[in-house]
Amino acid sequence: MTSNDEYVLQLLTERGYLSAEQVEAAAASMKAANETTLDVLVSGGAVDEDTVLGTIADQFGLKYCHIEADAIAPEVVQAIPSDIAKKYGVVPVVADDDSITVALSDPMGYDVIDSLRYVLHGRDVEAVLAPLGEVKTVMSKLYGSAEDAEVTTRDEEGLNADDVAEGDDSAVIKLANMILTTAIKMKASDIHIEPMEKEFRVRYRIDGALRKMDSPPKRLQGAILSRFKIMSKMKISEKRVPQDGRIQISVGGKDLDLRVSSVPTNHGESIVMRILDKSNLSLGLPQLGFLSDDQTTFERLIKLPDGVVLVTGPTGSGKTTTLYACLGQINTPDKKLITVEDPVEYQMSGINQVQVNKDVGLDFSAALRSILRQAPNIVMIGEIRDAETADIAMEAALTGHLVFSTLHTNDAPSAVTRLLDIGVKPFLVASALRAAMAQRLVRAICEKCKQEHTPTDRELKMLKGLASGSNAQIPDRMYTGAGCDTCHKTGYKGRKGIFEIFKVDDTIQRLIFDHAPATLLRQRAREMGMRTLREDGMLKVASGMTSLSEVLRVTMGDAD
């Protein structure tokens, strides 16, 4: 019952709850190898559990109480992360900003309280004593059973969501875990949990496209949303305003972060979980999809001693992944690298990463001014959003720093126009900007079911139209994916980039200084040999990397 039954038996005897004869008789009657004398006395009715635990609590100056999951407020549950509660075998029962009271079942483990004070960053921790069975039951209802401490690849596919009863907390936890593990096994980048009027919809974004999955029963909507909010340390009682959170899980020995966003909608809270796979940090430039000549050009640009290199494109075009691949390529012990991000999506060893915090006045411009006093060689800014940040970035480049950042523009030459529009002086842009690279992501044809494809008349007509007036060549051969189990019958597996690299030479510098429009900048870049997004895509169609429909999908609104 406790970690020191002999001591407890002595206490109970001294206080008159047991006689020496009863203790001796119980010791002699023990049959099971894992049974203790105290267990025999309790099971035989010589003394009840409340008397035993009450005596122990009194001896150690603790309060003895019974606990129930329903009586513990959601904000109290969030005071201790699930993994910590399960590791130390405690349940939070009361909490405020400065202190927390936990229920434990064995007061002999005083090191537990000291350890909790440490892992909870010095927060004052008090303890009360509760029956072991109640601690286990409440912990299971609040956090899931001990085996659910981490999301693993344990097979939960046999769980039938339609059979889960409302209020069955352990089954809801398993169902939530199953949603996560299935998404990760399918290599989804996002999980969308969306309450509809008559449906509780779950969709995964796989290779950039949303796929609808089997929907959990509508009656479980509240329980599942609450489970994900608890996991991401959100306030489950707050349903009127958007919230952000984070979940850290382990699947198959791989550590993953999930960035969680909750937004109130007409039919409940919509939750989107962005899966951040740290293995993406190991991606090199070749894995991004560069053709050999573009890769050589881009590698030369990111090894320049100073200047600004921009990556442009819409949201979801892979700009951040490209920047991290750049940093990984040039991160050497002889260089100091600092990033300013909102948020810090991946933690990289050897790089100083600064998280923007607008609540305390640490925006991009304030952070950038401060980190330049740290004498970095290379600076990465998550995004240039305003004139002040842009001016500091340009001036940093002119004082010997290499600066990487992103902009939201449709093509590479428009990065210049965007910088001028937000108020950066033309001479700063002309002097500091070394290059801008636009990119898009296209789905790659599955290698398992890849097969040669004869273009249809409609496709040939589109190919001729695309090639007309540009340097794009009509490919001799095309490929498609037939669809197999590996690619979930889609014909595509993974994504690659298509790129447009705009380099700044002396002529373009003069055009920028004269405030030339993007069309003139683009014309000069084409004369220098710049390959457009569409042309790069057509080459990748010809190589069998992707399909014509994919290139059309991401470049239809772009200029030739």
pLDDT band at 251 (very low <50, low <70, confident <90, very high): confident
Q: What is the pLDDT of residue 153?
A: 36
Report the C-alpha gap between 109 and 350 in whole angstroms.
Answer: 39
Question: For 240-275, what is the HEC assignment?
Answer: CCCEEEEEEEEECCEEEEEEEEEEEECCEEEEEEEE
Q: Tens digits of per-residue pLDDT, 331-355?
A: 888 999 999 988 887 778 889 999 8
A 10 A CB-CB count for 457 gives 7
The per-residue pLDDT of the chain, averaged, comes to 85
Q: What percent of the chain has pLDDT over 90?
A: 40
Tally helices (H) and strands (E) across the chain. Answer: 22, 19
| Phi, psi dihedral angles at 498 (to 5 degrees) | -115, 145
> Partners of 502 in the beta sheet?
436
Dihedral sign computed on CA atoms, order 429, 431, 432, 436: positive
SS3 state of residue 503: strand
How much helix, strand and coil, in percent to the nearest 5, is found in the chain? Answer: 40, 25, 35
How long is the chain?
560
| pLDDT computed for residue 154 by the predictor | 38
Coil, strand, or helix at residue 95? strand
DSSP letter string over 448-474?
Answer: SSEEEEPPPHHHHHHHHHHHTTSSPPP
pLDDT in tens, 205-242: 998 889 999 888 888 899 899 999 988 889 888 889 99
pLDDT in tens, 349-393: 889 999 888 888 888 888 998 999 999 999 999 999 899 999 999
Q: Is the pLDDT of residue 467 over 70?
A: no
Adjacent-strand bridge partners of 516? none
- The predicted-structure confidence for 505-559, as pLDDT tens digits, reads as follows 999 999 999 989 999 999 999 999 999 998 898 888 888 999 988 888 888 655 5
CA 38 to chain CA centroid, Å, is 48
Residue written as token pair 């008397």: 51
User: In degrees, to the nearest 5, what angle opens at C-alpha 474 toward C-alphas 471 and 477?
Assistant: 145
Q: Given this model, what pLDDT does residue 159 score?
A: 60
Q: Please say whether the beta carbons of 500 and 531 come within 8 A.
A: yes
**Other C-beta atoms within 10 Å of 388: how many?**
18
Per-residue pLDDT reduced to its tens digit, 43-79 = 888 989 899 999 988 888 889 999 998 889 888 888 8
Q: Specify the pLDDT at position 106.
A: 76
CA distance 77 to 94: 9
Task: Note whether 86 and 143 are within 8 A (CB).
Answer: yes
H or E, element range at 404: strand 402-407
Q: Is the pLDDT of residue 498 over 90?
A: yes
288 Cβ contact list (under 8 Å, min separation 6): 318, 321, 322, 325, 496, 497
The separation between CA 291 and the C-alpha centre of its own chain, rounded to angstroms, equals 29
Residue-level pLDDT at 38: 86
User: Residue 124 to residues 25, 92, 94, 315, 471: CA-CA distances in angstroms?
Assistant: 44, 13, 12, 44, 69
**CA–centroid distance for 10 within its chain:** 53
